[in-house]
Amino acid sequence: MNLLLHRLEKIMNMTLITHLFARLFFVVALGLLGVATIELLANLMGYTLLRGIYSAGRLIELSAALQIFVITVLLRQIRDGATTQRSP
């Protein structure tokens, strides 16, 4: 049991988890931005895809919130990488 936990800790450390979530949130944010663009174009033609559940503006807001998280994680990784390279 202890060996299994040790292997799991090696595989799933916090850096890897944040990296995976940052990539996932980036893909989701791009998807939301694409859906918002298509919804906006559909609304201009008089149609709707989401039937009023979310407006195109709300989807863009959600996309921006996810992008802020991604940018924060990336800046933190850059800072940590620069700190480890400077210290001998």
32-49 tens-digit pLDDT: 999 999 999 999 999 998
Once rounded to an integer, what is the mean pLDDT over residues 55-59? 91
Q: What angle do CA 63, 69, 74 make, to 5 degrees?
A: 125
Contacts of 30 (CB under 8 A, 6+ apart): 63
When the pLDDT of each residue in the chain is averaged and rounded to a whole number, the result is 85
Asked whether residue 30 carries a pLDDT value surpassing 90, the answer given is yes
d(CA 88, CA 83): 10
Model confidence, pTM: 0.75
d(CA 37, CA 43): 10
What is the identity of the amino acid at 11? I
